[in-house]
């Protein structure tokens, strides 16, 4: 029993260090000016829409919640209450590979109606990046890259973690530059359900 606990403890400690080091290194490598420009696009939009699949989708939904806390009209694409996207809106489209069909399709629709697209991906050359008015590269491994050359973590974990942390950092930047108090933001927090 003691041997198992020691192995589990050591394994967790090593893995925690990997996650913290990799996300820290990745976030320190992104272009802060690009993220600031994306923040200005978000603030200038009539409404903000987000889309992503799987864990990437969950991470961008967490970002959507924070944007809603700022008082921005924010919608998760595909939810039954999400309205049509239109000119003056922005779509934040997240796909590590930049090839996820539903995400690329949403970006194409957004462009057709005159909305802006913020593409968040690992791949500059992807279809999603080509559709982006702003492209935010998170240089993590694609989930199909099992080489271990970019990350020791499984599949798209580093990308998904970085989506969450980068958008939390963007939210903090937008919040700190607003005149809203934490109490004002808290009034928008869900109070039913």
Residue 93 has φ and ψ, to the nearest 5°, of -110, 125
* Under 8 Å between Cβ of 69 and 42: no
Give the H/E segment covering residue 33: helix 32-44
Q: Which among 6, 79, 160, 183 is annotated as catalytic?
A: 160
* Under 8 Å between Cβ of 77 and 51: yes
Annotated catalytic residue 125: no
SS3 115: coil
Q: For residue 146, give Cα distances in angstroms to 17, 126, 140, 151, 187.
A: 20, 19, 12, 9, 44
CA distance 20 to 80: 36
Residue 20 has φ and ψ, to the nearest 5°, of -65, -45
Burial per residue of 92-127, b for 16 or more beta-carbon CB atoms within 10 angstroms, e otherwise: bbbbbbbebeebbebbeebeeeebbbbbbbbbeebb
Catalytic residues: 160
């Amino acid at each position: 029993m003691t041997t198992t606990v020691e192995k589990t403890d050591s394994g967790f400690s090593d893995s925690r260090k990997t996650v913290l080091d990799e996300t820290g290194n990745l976030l320190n490598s992104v272009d802060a000016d690009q993220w600031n420009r994306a923040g200005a696009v978000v603030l200038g939009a009539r409404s903000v829409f987000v889309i992503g699949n799987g864990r990437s989708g969950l991470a961008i939904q967490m970002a959507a919640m924070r944007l809603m806390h700022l008082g921005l009209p924010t919608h998760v694409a595909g939810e039954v209450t999400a309205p049509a996207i239109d000119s003056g809106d922005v779509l934040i489209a997240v796909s590590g590979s930049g090839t996820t069909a539903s995400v690329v399709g949403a970006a194409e629709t957004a462009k057709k109606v005159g909305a802006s697209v913020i593409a968040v991906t690992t791949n500059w050359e992807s279809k999603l990046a080509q559709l982006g008015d702003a492209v935010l590269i998170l240089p993590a491994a694609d989930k199909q890259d099992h080489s271990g050359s970019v990350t020791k973590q499984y599949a798209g974990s580093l990308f998904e973690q970085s989506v969450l942390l980068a958008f939390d950092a963007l939210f903090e930047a937008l919040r700190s530059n607003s005149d809203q108090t934490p109490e004002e933001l808290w009034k928008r927090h869900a109070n039913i359900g």
